[in-house]
Amino acid sequence: MIDMEKIGKKFKTSLKLDTFPLAIYESRNIPENAVPLCSVDHCVAKSIFLTSTNENENPVYINNKTLRGCCPGSMTYLGFAKPAKFIKYFVSTGKESVRGGAAEYLKASPEDVEKFLKSIGEIKKIENNLVIQKCEDMKNINDIDNIADIDNIGTNNTDTKDINIKSILVFGNSEQIRNLSNLIYFNNENTFTGISTPFGPSCASFITYPNGMAENTPKETVFMGPVDPTGNIWFPSDYLSMGIPIEIAMKLYENIDSSFLSKRPEVAFPKR
């Protein structure tokens, strides 16, 4: 049994988060109060961040019918489109014949962008709805592998049989993420690979990698980010994200009471 509400509250309390941990899941149905992801903001990643930081923000969702107004780049990392041919120039050094030479200078050369895209592999397409919702707003999830019957398509509910939890997304300041990082290594032997900070846009750090959507995503890995400086205009300078595959998140939840977070809270959060 997965009690997302209980897991979310435990993470928030134990890590002293000012934000709300988010559940990211695929479903044939959507919550009744959910709104299209890109109706919140053009930037998919910013919309997700606002869902975590605003107490009254509704759940958000995206599918192939709600792509209008979304950042074109995010469509690649959510599996709705193949990478645009010009993107290797835009992300690197630019090309005068492509968008007037506009460039982000995030990679040294177009060839480096091509190598990056090849390194992550093909990105899986989302077959149903991708929903991002505060963990605390969810009911008990009894079976993450059981997808609803075809007869239920189009209904608006959160039937537990319909939900396939993929990951949990946490936002926090450096101290909170530092504590979470140690919790990840509490009984993890993957000393050098338990946490990864891979290149890519913020939406890849938040969704693509933690959800295992990229073909070459490493297993048993948590993803810290974002590394994309183009989000600095809206993402707090003292914050980081941690995208946690659901299987790992469940282990972390079980380990909290045995770890320093509960046994030595004065070390995790010293009084200054």
Confidence (pLDDT) at 214: 98
Confidence (pLDDT) at 13: 97
d(CA 255, CA 259): 6
DSSP string over the chain: -EEHHHHHHHHHHHTT-SS--EEEEEESS--TT-EEHHHH-SSHHHHHHHHHH-TTPPPEEE-TTS-TTS-HHHHHHTTSSPPPTTHHHHHTT-BTTBGGG-----SSSHHHHHHHHHHH-PBPPP-SEEEEEEGGG--EES-TT-PPPGGGTT-----GGGEEEEEEEEEEEHHHHHHHHHHHTTT---TTTSEE--SS-HHIIIIITTTT-BTTPPSS-EEEE---GGGTTTS-TTEEEEEEEHHHHHHHHHHGGGSHHHH-HHHHS---
Q: Which amino acid is at 252?
A: L
Confidence (pLDDT) at 141: 58
Confidence (pLDDT) at 147: 32
Q: Where are the domains of the chain?
A: 2-35+45-56+128-268
Confidence (pLDDT) at 161: 53
Confidence (pLDDT) at 127: 85
CB-based contact 203:230 (threshold 8 Å): no
Which pTM value belongs to this model?
Answer: 0.91
Q: How many residues does the chain have?
A: 272
Best CA proximity match to 5, nearest among 162, 168, 194, 177 = 168
Q: pLDDT 10s digit of each residue in the chain, 272 long? A: 689 999 999 999 999 999 999 999 999 999 999 999 999 999 999 999 999 999 999 999 999 999 999 999 999 999 999 999 999 999 999 999 988 999 999 999 999 999 999 999 999 988 899 999 999 999 755 444 433 332 333 334 444 457 899 999 999 999 999 999 999 999 998 899 999 999 999 999 999 999 999 999 999 999 999 999 999 999 999 999 999 999 999 999 999 999 999 999 999 999 98
Confidence (pLDDT) at 153: 32
Q: What tokens does 197 get? A: 């900070």
